[in-house]
Amino acid sequence: MSTSVKSNTKIEWGPRIDLSKVSDVFAPQVVPEFVPPTPGIDNLGITSTDTFMIPGKGEIAVDFSGYVRVARSQPTTGDWVTAEVYTNLIEMRMYGESAETGPIIVTLNTDCLSTGMLRTPWADMNCAQPEKACRMAVSAVFDLPSLGVKLVNKEPILLTIDNVRAIPPSGNPGKGQIYQLLPLYNSNDVDGAPAAYITALKFAMGKYLTPEELKALQH
């Protein structure tokens, strides 16, 4: 099972990429450093360690692995220093499990368009070859089938990657910008009080996948 972004999402955190104008990019790829990339849809592995506070169960850190598909815009300029690149996270599936929760499957919340961008930090605009900063605002569904509950975030989960020398930042570590807590809501009572919280999140972008590897992860 996988989820893809819908064209009629009611919430968009940022600019939408026209998917009719971008093609899939699979392994093998050699991505040059410090070069604004041609647009595409990157099919990449991902690993993540998310820490949840679940009332009655306490704080639980869960290791996830899976894949993402990220659409990238045409860079705004042909120059690495000044170019901004906009991104949409159009598909995601990560799997993890813990003794307290059983399996957890993380996919995109298709009610929202998860968006991001890469650009040079303002302080580095005078560098010849600056490292870029990447940010992505994500709406996810955390499916906990053993507990019979699906959790969603209503504020975006902000994922950031620094020291980006190539786009995509394959292999780079990143961090969820969680300040104390990010509330999660029961998808059956999305207007109710928070049902759980994310308290910390770190992740790493993986390598390009082959079509076969993607298909295996999309099961």
- Count of CB atoms situated within 10 Å of the CB of 37: 18
Task: Work out whether 158 is an interface residue with a copy of itself (CB under 8 A).
Answer: yes
Strands 182-186, 196-208: parallel, antiparallel or unpaired by DSSP? antiparallel
**Could you say which of 3, 39, 100, 154 contacts a copy of itself (CB under 8 A)?**
154
Task: Work out whether 191 is an interface residue with a copy of itself (CB under 8 A).
Answer: yes
Task: Work out whether 194 is an interface residue with a copy of itself (CB under 8 A).
Answer: yes
Grouping H, G, I as helix, E, B as strand and the rest as coil, residue 217 is: helix
Task: Work out whether 36 is an interface residue with a copy of itself (CB under 8 A).
Answer: no
Query: Least CB distance from residue 14 to a copy of itself, whole Å?
Result: 6
Task: Work out whether 192 is an interface residue with a copy of itself (CB under 8 A).
Answer: yes
The residue type found at 12 is E
Task: Work out whether 84 is an interface residue with a copy of itself (CB under 8 A).
Answer: yes
Closest to a copy of itself by CB, 21 vs 215, is 21
Spell out the alpha helix ranges (H) of the chain: 211-217
Closest to a copy of itself by CB, 39 vs 183, is 183
Considering only 11-19, 87-95, 97-105, 205-213, which stretch makes contact with a copy of itself by CB under 8 A? Answer: 11-19
Q: Choose among 30, 64, 67: nearest CA to 45.
A: 67
- How far, in Å, CA of 108 to CA of 115, rounded? 12
Task: Work out whether 121 is an interface residue with a copy of itself (CB under 8 A).
Answer: yes
What part of residues 38-57 is at the interface with a copy of itself (CB under 8 A)?
A: 53
- How far, in Å, CA of 214 to CA of 2, rounded? 11
Query: Least CB distance from residue 95 to a copy of itself, whole Å?
Result: 26
- How far, in Å, CA of 219 to CA of 215, rounded? 7
**Could you say which of 26, 52, 86, 142 contacts a copy of itself (CB under 8 A)?**
86
Place of tokens 């308290």: 199
Q: Choose among 69, 61, 126: nearest CA to 96.
A: 61
Closest to a copy of itself by CB, 99 vs 179, is 179
Closest to a copy of itself by CB, 7 vs 191, is 191
Place of tokens 């995601």: 92
**Which residues neighbour 19 within 8 Å (Cβ) at sequence distance 6 or greater?**
41, 71, 88, 90
> Can you give the binding site for a copy of itself, defined by CB under 8 A?
10-16, 53, 59, 76, 84, 86, 117, 119, 121-122, 133, 135, 137, 154-156, 158, 160, 177, 179-181, 183, 191-194, 199
